[in-house]
A = this chain, B = another copy of it.
Amino acid sequence: MSNDSGAQSASVKVVEEEDATGKVMDIYEEIKTTLGIDFVPNMYRALAVNPDYLEMTWRKIQSVMGEDGRLGNMTKDIVALTVSIMSGCDYCIGVYSDAVKRAGLDDVALLELYEVIDVYAGLNRLNIGLQTKTDEKSWHGCGGGR
């Protein structure tokens, strides 16, 4: 059977927290401290099969997501959720739905996000079907002359 319902990943045997040593143990601690949680998410336990990859992936994520930057944390979490919805990744949709709610989006705001996704997922396919050509002059989105 491909799926073992007790496993955190159906594809690889993950590194449990109690079995982590060396670099993996260090990164596990850093993950829990940085994210303010008392467990290591299943995703990171699977990446730990290759400790160097776990480290590099964690570092890249922190570099991109861990500080405010130009866009701000809330906007970056909203983009992360949008990308996850467009990719159809159930695991990531679950994590980032929780993330943006905790960051302050109520249900009206969350539905507003889905409304924008609805509108553009539709318009995108419409324009791909229409084979619409680039306009000769520039314009600035559908939301008014802001």
A residues with a Cβ closer than 8 A to B are 1-3, 7-13, 34-39, 41-43, 46-47, 49-50, 52-53, 56-57, 59-66, 69-71, 73-100, 102-103, 105-146
Q: Which B-chain residue is minimally distant from A99 (CB atoms)?
A: B141
Task: For the complex, give the distance between the alpha carbons of A76 and B111 in Å.
Answer: 12
Q: Could you tell me if B134 and A49 are in contact, using CB atoms closer than 8 angstroms?
A: no
- 6 A-B residue pairs with Cβ-Cβ distance under 8 Å, sorted by A, are A42-B134, A49-B111, A79-B117, A88-B89, A93-B129, A118-B123
Cβ B117 vs Cβ A92 within 8 A: no
Besides A8-B132, A79-B113, A79-B117, 10 more A-B contacts (Cβ < 8 Å) are A2-B94, A10-B133, A46-B130, A47-B111, A84-B120, A98-B138, A98-B141, A99-B141, A114-B126, A117-B126
With a CB–CB cut-off of 8 A, which chain B residues contact A70?
105-106, 108-109, 112
Q: A60-B56, A92-B127 are in contact. Are A120 and B80 (CB under 8 A)?
A: yes
Instruction: Check B144–A36 contact: CB distance below 8 A.
Output: yes
Complex partner residue of A63 from B10, B52, B73, CB under 8 angstroms = B52
Would you call A130 and B43 a contact (CB within 8 A)? yes
CA distance A43 to B87 in the complex (A): 20
> When the two chains form the complex, which single residue of B94, B116, B130 contacts A76, counting CB atoms closer than 8 Å?
B116
- In the bound complex, do residue B125 and residue A1 qualify as a contact, i.e. CB atoms below 8 Å apart? no
Max chain B Cβ within 10 angstroms of own Cβ: one of A49, A84, A96, A122: A122
